[in-house]
Amino acid sequence: MANVVATDSGDLLRPGIETITAAGEQIEVLPDGLLGPDAADRVGDAKVLLVGLMHWRRPAIEKLPDSVGLMIRCGIGVDVIDVDVATERGIWVANVPDYCVEEVADHTMLLLLAAARQVRHFEASWQQEGRWASLDYQPVGRLAGQTLGLIGLGRIGTAVARRAGGFGLKVIAVDPGVPDERFAAVGAERVTLDELFARSDIVSVHTPLTPVTRHILGAESFARMKDGVVIVNASRGGLLDLAALDAALASGRVRAAGLDVLEGEPTPDLAAPLLHRRNVIVTPHVAWYSQDARRELGIKAAQEALRYIRGERPRNLINPSARATPGGGGAA
Protein backbone atom coordinates (compact mmCIF):
# COMPACT_ATOMS: atom_id res chain seq x y z
CA MET A 1 0.00 0.00 0.00
CA ALA A 2 1.06 3.58 -0.61
CA ASN A 3 2.80 5.49 2.19
CA VAL A 4 1.66 8.77 0.61
CA VAL A 5 -1.79 9.78 -0.65
CA ALA A 6 -2.52 12.95 -2.59
CA THR A 7 -6.08 13.72 -1.55
CA ASP A 8 -6.79 16.07 -4.47
CA SER A 9 -5.18 18.40 -7.05
CA GLY A 10 -3.21 15.58 -8.64
CA ASP A 11 -2.49 17.52 -11.83
CA LEU A 12 -1.21 20.52 -9.89
CA LEU A 13 1.01 18.31 -7.74
CA ARG A 14 2.44 16.28 -10.63
CA PRO A 15 6.07 17.38 -9.98
CA GLY A 16 5.72 16.24 -6.37
CA ILE A 17 4.17 12.93 -7.37
CA GLU A 18 7.07 12.32 -9.74
CA THR A 19 9.58 13.20 -7.02
CA ILE A 20 8.05 10.70 -4.59
CA THR A 21 7.92 7.97 -7.24
CA ALA A 22 11.54 8.63 -8.22
CA ALA A 23 12.51 8.14 -4.57
CA GLY A 24 11.05 4.62 -4.70
CA GLU A 25 7.93 5.39 -2.68
CA GLN A 26 4.40 4.57 -3.73
CA ILE A 27 1.84 7.35 -3.90
CA GLU A 28 -1.87 7.09 -4.56
CA VAL A 29 -3.68 10.05 -6.13
CA LEU A 30 -7.36 10.33 -5.28
CA PRO A 31 -9.73 11.74 -7.89
CA ASP A 32 -10.83 15.35 -7.58
CA GLY A 33 -14.38 15.99 -6.41
CA LEU A 34 -14.34 13.90 -3.25
CA LEU A 35 -15.37 15.37 0.08
CA GLY A 36 -13.07 15.03 3.07
CA PRO A 37 -14.91 12.13 4.77
CA ASP A 38 -14.98 10.19 1.49
CA ALA A 39 -11.28 10.79 0.98
CA ALA A 40 -10.59 9.67 4.55
CA ASP A 41 -12.19 6.32 3.74
CA ARG A 42 -9.75 5.83 0.85
CA VAL A 43 -6.35 6.61 2.34
CA GLY A 44 -5.67 3.02 3.39
CA ASP A 45 -2.69 2.78 5.72
CA ALA A 46 -0.94 5.87 4.37
CA LYS A 47 1.47 7.75 6.62
CA VAL A 48 1.36 11.10 4.81
CA LEU A 49 -1.41 13.04 3.09
CA LEU A 50 -0.70 15.71 0.49
CA VAL A 51 -3.60 18.17 0.64
CA GLY A 52 -4.27 20.60 -2.18
CA LEU A 53 -7.58 22.47 -1.96
CA MET A 54 -9.66 19.86 -0.14
CA HIS A 55 -11.16 21.00 3.17
CA TRP A 56 -10.34 18.76 6.12
CA ARG A 57 -12.62 19.38 9.09
CA ARG A 58 -13.40 17.33 12.20
CA PRO A 59 -15.65 14.68 10.58
CA ALA A 60 -12.98 13.86 8.00
CA ILE A 61 -9.94 14.05 10.28
CA GLU A 62 -11.60 11.87 12.90
CA LYS A 63 -12.13 9.17 10.25
CA LEU A 64 -8.44 9.00 9.34
CA PRO A 65 -6.63 5.79 10.30
CA ASP A 66 -4.01 5.89 13.05
CA SER A 67 -1.29 5.34 10.44
CA VAL A 68 -1.58 8.96 9.27
CA GLY A 69 0.99 11.04 11.10
CA LEU A 70 1.46 14.02 8.78
CA MET A 71 -0.80 16.17 6.61
CA ILE A 72 1.05 18.48 4.24
CA ARG A 73 -0.88 21.48 2.97
CA CYS A 74 0.53 22.00 -0.52
CA GLY A 75 0.55 25.76 -0.26
CA ILE A 76 1.16 28.49 2.30
CA GLY A 77 -2.19 28.88 4.04
CA VAL A 78 -3.41 26.02 6.23
CA ASP A 79 -6.96 27.30 6.70
CA VAL A 80 -8.36 24.33 4.74
CA ILE A 81 -7.20 22.00 7.54
CA ASP A 82 -8.63 22.11 11.06
CA VAL A 83 -5.25 22.12 12.76
CA ASP A 84 -6.74 21.87 16.25
CA VAL A 85 -8.49 18.61 15.40
CA ALA A 86 -5.37 17.25 13.71
CA THR A 87 -3.45 18.06 16.88
CA GLU A 88 -6.03 16.20 18.97
CA ARG A 89 -5.40 13.17 16.75
CA GLY A 90 -1.63 13.49 17.11
CA ILE A 91 -1.24 14.36 13.44
CA TRP A 92 1.39 16.85 12.42
CA VAL A 93 0.38 19.53 9.91
CA ALA A 94 3.02 21.10 7.67
CA ASN A 95 2.91 23.57 4.81
CA VAL A 96 5.14 24.93 2.04
CA PRO A 97 5.68 28.52 3.14
CA ASP A 98 8.45 29.53 0.76
CA TYR A 99 7.49 28.37 -2.73
CA CYS A 100 5.92 31.44 -4.39
CA VAL A 101 7.18 34.44 -2.45
CA GLU A 102 8.51 36.32 -5.47
CA GLU A 103 5.42 35.61 -7.57
CA VAL A 104 2.95 36.83 -4.93
CA ALA A 105 5.03 39.92 -4.23
CA ASP A 106 5.16 40.71 -7.96
CA HIS A 107 1.42 40.17 -8.30
CA THR A 108 0.72 42.32 -5.27
CA MET A 109 2.56 45.19 -6.92
CA LEU A 110 0.68 44.52 -10.17
CA LEU A 111 -2.65 44.79 -8.35
CA LEU A 112 -1.48 47.82 -6.39
CA LEU A 113 -0.40 49.66 -9.54
CA ALA A 114 -3.46 48.66 -11.55
CA ALA A 115 -5.82 49.78 -8.79
CA ALA A 116 -3.99 53.00 -7.93
CA ARG A 117 -3.68 53.92 -11.61
CA GLN A 118 -7.34 53.01 -12.31
CA VAL A 119 -6.31 50.70 -15.16
CA ARG A 120 -9.63 48.88 -15.45
CA HIS A 121 -11.57 52.14 -15.53
CA PHE A 122 -9.44 53.73 -18.24
CA GLU A 123 -9.47 50.59 -20.37
CA ALA A 124 -13.29 50.43 -20.20
CA SER A 125 -13.63 54.19 -20.70
CA TRP A 126 -11.78 54.42 -24.00
CA GLN A 127 -13.39 51.28 -25.36
CA GLN A 128 -16.84 52.62 -24.52
CA GLU A 129 -16.12 55.96 -26.16
CA GLY A 130 -14.28 54.41 -29.07
CA ARG A 131 -11.62 57.10 -28.95
CA TRP A 132 -9.02 58.47 -26.59
CA ALA A 133 -10.02 62.12 -26.82
CA SER A 134 -12.96 61.96 -24.39
CA LEU A 135 -11.86 59.85 -21.46
CA ASP A 136 -13.56 59.93 -18.07
CA TYR A 137 -10.63 60.99 -15.91
CA GLN A 138 -10.88 59.60 -12.39
CA PRO A 139 -8.74 60.83 -9.48
CA VAL A 140 -5.25 59.34 -9.67
CA GLY A 141 -2.47 60.56 -7.40
CA ARG A 142 1.27 60.33 -7.85
CA LEU A 143 2.44 57.06 -6.33
CA ALA A 144 5.83 58.26 -5.12
CA GLY A 145 5.50 59.70 -1.65
CA GLN A 146 2.34 57.82 -0.74
CA THR A 147 2.23 55.53 2.30
CA LEU A 148 1.80 51.80 1.89
CA GLY A 149 0.54 49.96 4.96
CA LEU A 150 1.39 46.26 5.12
CA ILE A 151 -0.59 44.03 7.46
CA GLY A 152 1.96 41.27 7.88
CA LEU A 153 5.71 41.38 7.28
CA GLY A 154 6.49 37.73 6.73
CA ARG A 155 8.24 36.41 3.65
CA ILE A 156 5.78 37.91 1.18
CA GLY A 157 5.19 41.15 3.06
CA THR A 158 8.95 41.64 3.23
CA ALA A 159 9.32 41.04 -0.51
CA VAL A 160 6.51 43.56 -1.18
CA ALA A 161 8.19 46.14 1.05
CA ARG A 162 11.42 45.79 -0.92
CA ARG A 163 9.61 46.33 -4.20
CA ALA A 164 7.57 49.23 -2.86
CA GLY A 165 10.70 51.21 -2.04
CA GLY A 166 11.60 51.19 -5.71
CA PHE A 167 8.37 53.04 -6.48
CA GLY A 168 9.06 55.71 -3.89
CA LEU A 169 6.43 54.47 -1.47
CA LYS A 170 6.87 55.00 2.26
CA VAL A 171 6.25 51.64 3.95
CA ILE A 172 4.68 51.18 7.36
CA ALA A 173 3.77 47.76 8.70
CA VAL A 174 2.25 45.83 11.57
CA ASP A 175 3.41 42.35 12.54
CA PRO A 176 3.92 41.56 16.23
CA GLY A 177 5.72 38.30 15.43
CA VAL A 178 8.52 39.91 13.43
CA PRO A 179 11.68 41.41 15.02
CA ASP A 180 12.66 45.04 14.61
CA GLU A 181 15.65 43.99 12.52
CA ARG A 182 13.41 42.88 9.65
CA PHE A 183 11.54 46.19 9.67
CA ALA A 184 14.84 48.03 9.53
CA ALA A 185 16.19 45.79 6.76
CA VAL A 186 13.36 46.76 4.40
CA GLY A 187 12.99 50.34 5.57
CA ALA A 188 9.54 49.80 7.07
CA GLU A 189 8.28 51.69 10.10
CA ARG A 190 6.65 49.55 12.79
CA VAL A 191 3.20 50.90 13.71
CA THR A 192 0.05 49.71 15.43
CA LEU A 193 -2.93 48.55 13.39
CA ASP A 194 -4.83 51.73 14.30
CA GLU A 195 -1.91 53.84 13.09
CA LEU A 196 -1.69 51.84 9.89
CA PHE A 197 -5.36 52.38 9.09
CA ALA A 198 -5.14 56.10 9.86
CA ARG A 199 -1.99 56.83 7.87
CA SER A 200 -2.03 54.53 4.84
CA ASP A 201 -2.89 55.65 1.33
CA ILE A 202 -2.73 52.01 0.27
CA VAL A 203 -3.37 48.97 2.50
CA SER A 204 -2.15 45.51 1.48
CA VAL A 205 -2.82 42.47 3.64
CA HIS A 206 -0.29 39.63 4.02
CA THR A 207 -1.35 37.64 7.05
CA PRO A 208 -2.68 34.09 7.50
CA LEU A 209 -6.43 33.56 7.70
CA THR A 210 -7.38 32.65 11.27
CA PRO A 211 -10.46 33.26 13.42
CA VAL A 212 -8.70 36.39 14.69
CA THR A 213 -7.81 37.80 11.25
CA ARG A 214 -11.06 36.92 9.45
CA HIS A 215 -12.52 40.17 8.06
CA ILE A 216 -9.61 42.16 9.44
CA LEU A 217 -10.58 44.46 6.58
CA GLY A 218 -14.24 45.20 7.25
CA ALA A 219 -16.65 48.03 7.95
CA GLU A 220 -14.97 49.03 11.21
CA SER A 221 -11.55 49.00 9.60
CA PHE A 222 -12.64 51.08 6.61
CA ALA A 223 -14.20 53.65 8.94
CA ARG A 224 -10.74 54.21 10.46
CA MET A 225 -9.02 54.74 7.12
CA LYS A 226 -8.40 57.81 5.01
CA ASP A 227 -10.89 58.78 2.34
CA GLY A 228 -9.68 57.49 -1.02
CA VAL A 229 -7.60 54.60 0.30
CA VAL A 230 -6.64 51.76 -2.07
CA ILE A 231 -7.08 48.15 -0.84
CA VAL A 232 -5.02 45.19 -2.06
CA ASN A 233 -5.53 41.54 -1.09
CA ALA A 234 -3.48 38.71 -2.56
CA SER A 235 -3.54 36.55 0.59
CA ARG A 236 -6.88 34.95 1.57
CA GLY A 237 -10.41 35.95 0.62
CA GLY A 238 -11.69 35.65 4.18
CA LEU A 239 -9.45 38.50 5.32
CA LEU A 240 -11.71 40.94 3.49
CA ASP A 241 -15.45 41.51 4.02
CA LEU A 242 -16.66 41.98 0.44
CA ALA A 243 -19.98 43.57 1.43
CA ALA A 244 -18.16 46.11 3.57
CA LEU A 245 -15.70 46.80 0.75
CA ASP A 246 -18.55 47.37 -1.69
CA ALA A 247 -20.14 49.86 0.72
CA ALA A 248 -16.80 51.62 1.22
CA LEU A 249 -16.32 51.87 -2.54
CA ALA A 250 -19.82 53.30 -2.94
CA SER A 251 -19.16 55.95 -0.28
CA GLY A 252 -15.74 56.87 -1.66
CA ARG A 253 -13.90 55.86 1.51
CA VAL A 254 -12.12 53.27 -0.67
CA ARG A 255 -11.05 54.64 -4.04
CA ALA A 256 -10.05 51.38 -5.69
CA ALA A 257 -9.22 47.76 -4.94
CA GLY A 258 -7.00 45.08 -6.40
CA LEU A 259 -7.97 41.53 -5.40
CA ASP A 260 -6.58 38.11 -6.24
CA VAL A 261 -8.71 36.26 -3.69
CA LEU A 262 -12.41 36.36 -2.81
CA GLU A 263 -14.67 34.75 -0.26
CA GLY A 264 -16.64 32.05 -2.04
CA GLU A 265 -13.85 31.14 -4.44
CA PRO A 266 -13.42 29.23 -6.66
CA THR A 267 -17.06 29.95 -7.54
CA PRO A 268 -17.74 33.49 -6.31
CA ASP A 269 -21.05 35.22 -6.94
CA LEU A 270 -20.42 36.71 -10.37
CA ALA A 271 -23.51 38.89 -10.04
CA ALA A 272 -22.03 40.73 -7.04
CA PRO A 273 -21.97 44.47 -7.82
CA LEU A 274 -18.42 44.69 -6.51
CA LEU A 275 -17.11 42.61 -9.40
CA HIS A 276 -18.59 45.00 -11.95
CA ARG A 277 -17.10 48.19 -10.56
CA ARG A 278 -14.57 49.85 -12.83
CA ASN A 279 -12.40 50.70 -9.85
CA VAL A 280 -12.00 47.06 -8.81
CA ILE A 281 -9.62 44.69 -10.55
CA VAL A 282 -9.91 40.97 -9.78
CA THR A 283 -7.62 38.12 -10.81
CA PRO A 284 -8.61 34.48 -10.13
CA HIS A 285 -6.22 33.47 -7.32
CA VAL A 286 -3.20 33.30 -9.60
CA ALA A 287 -0.74 35.42 -7.61
CA TRP A 288 1.11 32.25 -6.64
CA TYR A 289 1.44 30.99 -10.19
CA SER A 290 4.42 30.62 -12.40
CA GLN A 291 5.71 27.44 -13.96
CA ASP A 292 8.70 27.68 -11.63
CA ALA A 293 6.52 28.09 -8.53
CA ARG A 294 4.28 25.19 -9.50
CA ARG A 295 7.27 22.88 -9.88
CA GLU A 296 8.80 24.14 -6.64
CA LEU A 297 5.55 23.59 -4.72
CA GLY A 298 5.27 19.95 -5.72
CA ILE A 299 8.91 19.17 -5.10
CA LYS A 300 9.07 20.85 -1.69
CA ALA A 301 5.87 19.13 -0.54
CA ALA A 302 7.29 15.80 -1.71
CA GLN A 303 10.58 16.39 0.08
CA GLU A 304 8.69 17.07 3.31
CA ALA A 305 6.79 13.77 2.89
CA LEU A 306 10.00 11.87 2.22
CA ARG A 307 11.68 13.32 5.31
CA TYR A 308 8.84 12.06 7.46
CA ILE A 309 8.85 8.60 5.90
CA ARG A 310 12.61 8.38 6.58
CA GLY A 311 11.91 9.10 10.24
CA GLU A 312 13.10 12.71 10.11
CA ARG A 313 11.29 15.71 11.55
CA PRO A 314 9.46 17.80 8.92
CA ARG A 315 10.89 21.30 8.50
CA ASN A 316 7.72 23.38 8.29
CA LEU A 317 5.45 22.17 11.09
CA ILE A 318 2.43 24.24 12.04
CA ASN A 319 1.69 22.23 15.20
CA PRO A 320 4.97 20.73 16.42
CA SER A 321 3.42 19.74 19.76
CA ALA A 322 0.93 17.38 18.10
CA ARG A 323 3.18 14.36 18.30
CA ALA A 324 3.15 14.60 22.10
CA THR A 325 -0.58 13.97 21.88
CA PRO A 326 -1.66 10.31 22.09
CA GLY A 327 -3.35 8.75 19.10
CA GLY A 328 -1.05 9.74 16.22
CA GLY A 329 0.61 7.28 13.92
CA GLY A 330 3.37 7.37 11.35
CA ALA A 331 7.09 6.89 11.27
CA ALA A 332 8.52 9.86 13.15
Element (H, E) at 70: strand 70-73
Please tell me the distance from the alpha carbon of residue 159 to that of residue 110, in angstroms, as a whole number: 13
Element (H, E) at 299: helix 291-309
Biggest CA pair distance of the chain:
72
- What's the number of CA atoms in the CB half-sphere (13 Å) around residue 211? 3
Per the annotation, the verdict on 18 as an active-site residue is no
Phi, psi of 204 (to 5 degrees): -125, 130
Per the annotation, the verdict on 323 as an active-site residue is no
Per the annotation, the verdict on 285 as an active-site residue is yes
Dihedral angle over CA of 300, 305, 307, 312, nearest 10: 130
Please tell me the distance from the alpha carbon of residue 59 to that of residue 298, in angstroms, as a whole number: 27
- In 10 A of CB 164, how many CB atoms? 26
Tell me if residue 242 falls in helix, strand or coil.
Answer: helix
Please tell me the distance from the alpha carbon of residue 94 to that of residue 71, in angstroms, as a whole number: 6
Options 18, 28, 195, 265, the catalytic residue: 265
Options 182, 285, 295, 307, the catalytic residue: 285
From 198, 161, 195, select the one nearest 178 (Cα to Cα).
Answer: 161
Options 120, 163, 190, 236, the catalytic residue: 236
Question: Catalytic positions, please?
Answer: 236, 265, 285
